[in-house]
Structure 1
């Protein structure tokens, strides 16, 4: 598909430039954050060999340790994150006791609470110890487009690779993952050649060649929908949706914090709000969540923080209204008192 291949090459380079202020940034499209994280570990393994140590916070997505297992690397080493983020002190201690090549994976938008690790400070430590840094920004990476929220990602550009998933704050149907790198040469280990697909002379003659840009061979032209969205909305349009969604999460948090029937865990970092009924134990909370789900009235997630279970509302619909939030809180209050 020559047209789709050309479009994908333009799209990936354009998006990569949003995250890396370098002369030749690049990116590959993936099925989502899981595949992008696996590719990041694969590239690190090809740079450093099979004895690569992978360090990640306990707050990291499950795909990080799973990718280490799939790639035949030593078991990934999980570092404690009792406050929800990977602290510089914890990483410094781990790096001091690690030998050989190390890949540190940080998170910008945790699955449970949408928290962002202190990226700049972690990048400093990686520089000091000669470790590579990968950042899983599947959830929070598109905050980079928003002048209001971009400071939360300070240090993101210092990563050797970044996972982005436009299925979240990019509002794309799956598949819409992305792995970005600061220089296209970092993707060289993915190169692959098969005469019936990308004969050397065809590639040299300028025919598009994306065989080495994915672990898959036949795949959909996922670049098209992303390009159509970017062309239709532009930077300002996407920024408006991101800012609006985060503002609605802040509004929900304030409603819950002011309500005597609920306890708010913390103000949201992105658009995830953790809360719980004031007098409910974990068993009652889990039952309430299933009741709402099975009754078709509300779909809420669940997360464990501070040793307790919390309900999780992850707002991702920019068209959510203040009235919708009021209705949710009223529904929860009524369900809690039954």
Structure 2
């Protein structure tokens, strides 16, 4: 291929681009979206055998052939995220407005680390952030930045919390001088059901995972305020220095939402940075009937929200919002070639000082196009419909003799166990459900997840897909039954 054919801007390049996108779109529709099963069932070793061709050949095979190769060898063996019987993880079916935006942002290749690399994108990200701050009830002083998702957002929130606390309590500028000698006493509190990224962030921040103090949950898997009070009293008695409290609006397994107003009260009383991980449940803010579940989120110092979950955008796409945008000062810096101090003085917006990334994608375009195309009311209806389906699924499981509902769903994650015999011991149930989950994936007619609850392996469906119906759920449960019937008396499930 000539240089002109490889890049946009010439007649030859523009024509190649159109043809390549048409061919890629046909491949997606024919080899991925039209598949009747959410997974082919192919095992890792078989996939490896399919992909033995050289990654970097001496001479290329041509763009058409390369796309066709992906169409035949990769797309048919990808998990069908748009299939209504793909319900394992918080991995949404991406809506078409977001897919269109993805094509636009990749072709323009804007980088959000300086205004002169992304002028319109820089301004638009600010507009989208402002709209999100309004959605979550934040004041005019709020600000935010797009991230790769909840992991990055949670990390950055705790980074800001740590550095603010060290400056205000110990007089240490961590950005300049590193951690103070008192850092060993720093503690983060969160629910025992909180996402693992709280501990991961503590590790990456030099505090160690032991700096994270987990708090017991109530019977709805929410952080228990009374247990939090006891933990705070114990930390004070031990001379520890708690600096952040993480509330969760949508735990991964159960969708549980911590009592955010009570947590906000404790954070204010103990001068803690209050961060809410709303990566999963943040989309409730779009709905009429469920937005009240997020009461208290407007009091958080920071909020993590993911668009590649219940906002239905392609991976990756998230945001970190700050109630006081001035708190970005704890990580701000100027680089002469990107955002010199003179730019700050003349009002040139450069977002690099608000991010832990330098080069950064124009991911804000995806929710922007979706919001503009679909609107808040319809987006809220899509989210609410999946919550209704989860409630219907729970009722279906409760009515079945061979399934056990672990807990009522809060959002659209439903945890259950296949228990075909009433008196079946937990040890056998554990082994059976672990074996069933493996067999279901190999079968390919459904994709469900596994987790562990009270020491017993359980199954989970995360019903993010607005096109899914109760018939789809019933079909998934029948696949579990089929696979379970083959396994219940086999060697994988010992008596």
TM-score, normalization by structure 1:
0.95
Q: Distance in 1 between matches of 2:320 and 2:137?
A: 12
Match of 1:44 among 155, 161, 174: 161
Partner residue of 1:87?
224
Partner residue of 1:334?
482
Q: Distance in 2 between matches of 1:43 and 1:21?
A: 18
Q: In structure 2, do the counterparts of structure 1 residues 261 and 253 end up closer, same or farther at CA, with 3 Å as the change threshold? A: same
Match of 2:235 among 98, 102, 105: 98
Partner residue of 2:359?
218
Partner residue of 1:300?
448
1:125 maps onto 2:261 in alignment:
no
**Secondary structure of 1:197's partner?**
coil
Partner residue of 1:173?
314
Count of residues in Structure 1 that have an aligned counterpart in Structure 2? 338
Q: Give yes or no for contact 1:112–1:304 (8 Å, CA) kept in 2.
A: no
Q: Distance in 2 between matches of 1:46 and 1:20?
A: 25
Q: Give yes or no for contact 2:440–2:479 (8 Å, CA) kept in 1.
A: no
**Secondary structure of 2:368's partner?**
helix
Unaligned runs of 5+ in 2: 1-117, 167-178, 422-427, 487-495
Q: In structure 2, do the counterparts of structure 1 residues 203 and 102 end up closer, same or farther at CA, with 3 Å as the change threshold? A: closer
Match of 2:405 among 264, 267, 271: 264
1:64 maps onto 2:198 in alignment:
yes
Q: Give yes or no for contact 1:134–1:162 (8 Å, CA) kept in 2.
A: yes
How many Å apart are 1:26 and its aligned residue?
A: 1.4
Superposition CA RMSD, Å:
1.6
Match of 1:231 among 372, 383, 387: 372
Q: Give yes or no for contact 1:28–1:214 (8 Å, CA) kept in 2.
A: yes
Larger radius of gyration: 2
Q: Distance in 1 between matches of 2:242 and 2:429?
A: 45
Partner residue of 2:212?
76
How many Å apart are 1:101 and its aligned residue?
A: 4.3
Unaligned runs of 5+ in 1: none
TM-score, normalization by structure 2:
0.66
Q: Distance in 2 between matches of 1:200 and 1:104?
A: 34
Partner residue of 2:490?
none
Partner residue of 2:145?
28
**Secondary structure of 1:28's partner?**
strand
Q: Distance in 2 between matches of 1:56 and 1:322?
A: 35
How many Å apart are 1:58 and its aligned residue?
A: 1.6
The structure whose residues are more often strand, as a share, is 1
**Secondary structure of 1:281's partner?**
helix
Q: Distance in 2 between matches of 1:192 and 1:226?
A: 28
